[in-house]
Amino acid sequence: MENRDKKIRIFRLHLANVTSHERLWSLRFTQPAMIASLISAGVILLVGIFSLIAFTPIKNLIPGYPNAHSRRLAAQNALRVDSLENKILQWELYTENMRRVVAGEDPIKMDSLVLGTRASREAAPEKYLALRDSILRADVQKEEQFFLASGTDAPRRMLPIEALSFYTPVKGVISRPFELSLHPWADITAPAGSVIMSVLDGSVIYTFWEDESGYTVVMQHQGDIVSIYKNNEKLLHKTGDRVKAGTPIAVLASSNSLTRGDHLHFELWCDGKAVDPALYIKF
């Protein structure tokens, strides 16, 4: 039927009993209302399908989606790659020592505790530091390229945390991610004995020992940024030391004596608030 006053076409849909012609159900609607209803139903259907796939095990049926086994293999492969890098560095240092001994030069000094896993980068020759840290050093130089003053009293830019280039404290896999309310830090799985690096230039402001977390080192950086490293077997710096980004500061402990699973407990704070390290650091 047609309403001549409003010039709007109104449709009626009803169900009736064929025998008695009794009306069982009736619905009146306009054309715009019908289109809006169909669009709303389509959107709800798409949201429902997306939620069903995203938040249920059905997503594992999608070809190419990594399942739990694939993620476990990826974590194991990352640890193997890190171990191979350690071995390659040991062989490089061993070869360099042999060359120095043959040439009558003094051998490279290395920390005896770290020798079994990774040679201390502070004791390594300059060319090895330049080889492994060249990218980081270039980023740091870019940050400081606008500083015209020199010396310790030179003014420094207070960059936001998003503009900083962080050094990876240890190469590994995040076994438990950051959760602000329940777990305001990240657990990074890595082999025991791995060397822990400072993420930024800064100062060691506090070190202590706990039965549950072993040695802990707390560092203060510019811009009200604080980094905390726990589950360590040995500290390589004491309170008050100035440390450059990428410099070894500790040696990771074994889970047999301290924690469940070899991992670094890493916290990152900015302006007095805990932040997710994975947003700024690639592990």
Q: Which of 267, 271, 261, 263 is nearest to 280 (CA)?
A: 267
The mean pLDDT value for 144-148 works out to 46
DSSP string, 196-232: EE-SSSEEEEEEEEETTTEEEEEEEETTTEEEEEEEE
pLDDT class of 152 with cuts at 50, 70, 90 = very low
Whole-number pLDDT of residue 251: 93
Question: Distance (Å, rounded) from C-alpha 43 to C-alpha 48?
Answer: 9
Q: Which of 87, 103, 222 is nearest to 161 (CA)?
A: 222
The amino acid that residue 119 corresponds to is A
The mean pLDDT value for 89-113 works out to 71
Q: Which of 213, 216, 282 is nearest to 250 (CA)?
A: 216
* 133 vs 191: which has the higher pLDDT: 191
The mean pLDDT value for 214-238 works out to 93
N-to-C CA span, the chain: 68
Q: Lowest mean pLDDT: which of 118-132, 144-158, 167-181, 225-239?
A: 144-158
pLDDT class of 148 with cuts at 50, 70, 90 = very low
Whole-number pLDDT of residue 115: 47
The amino acid that residue 85 corresponds to is E
> Each residue of 2-29: pLDDT tens digit?
445 556 788 888 788 888 878 888 888 7
Check if the beta carbon of residue 231 is closer than 8 Å to that of residue 253. yes
The mean pLDDT value for 85-91 works out to 81
Whole-number pLDDT of residue 185: 94
Domain spans of the chain, in order of start: 2-59, 71-143, 166-279
Six token digits for residue 228: 């905390």
> Each residue of 190-201: pLDDT tens digit?
998 899 999 999
Q: Does the predicted TM-score (pTM) go above 0.85?
A: no
Task: Report whether pLDDT(281) > 80.
Answer: yes
For 254, the 3-state DSSP assignment is: coil
The amino acid that residue 41 corresponds to is A
Q: Which residue has the tokens 């500083």?
A: 147
Six token digits for residue 74: 């990826």
Largest distance between two CA atoms of the chain: 114
Q: Going by C-beta distance under 8 Å and a sequence separation of 6 or more, which residues neighbour residue 174? A: 186, 187, 188, 189, 278, 283
pLDDT class of 113 with cuts at 50, 70, 90 = very low
User: For the structural domain made of 166-279, what CATH number should be given?
Assistant: 2.70.70.10
For 177, the 3-state DSSP assignment is: coil
CA atoms within 13 A on the CB side of 190: 28
Whole-number average pLDDT of the chain:
78
